[in-house]
Amino acid sequence: MQASDKQSKEFALFLVRLSGRQMKRSKPITAPAVMAGLFQWLNFTEMVNHYPPDKLREFADAASKFV
């Protein structure tokens, strides 16, 4: 979060977006938002590594019936 290179800033913004939190324009990146996004990212990568793509499509189809 404290790194100032372009790639680190881009990844921090990605994590904030993944967190789903609304941010102020004056402070687009906060530590709690980055941590929440990181938690989402780790859960997502674990899920993708655990289930094959066809099973994930089945889950997505099942979830779309509830929405």
Is a pLDDT exceeding 80 seen at residue 4?
A: yes
Task: Tell me the pLDDT tens digit for each residue of 19-48.
Answer: 998 888 888 899 999 999 999 999 999 999
Supply the pTM of this predicted model.
0.75
**Closest residue by Cα to residue 37 from 23, 55, 51:** 23
DSSP symbol at 24? B
Q: How confident is the model at residue 55 (pLDDT cuts 50, 70, 90)?
A: very high
**Closest residue by Cα to residue 15 from 3, 33, 27, 2:** 33
Which pLDDT score is estimated for 59?
94
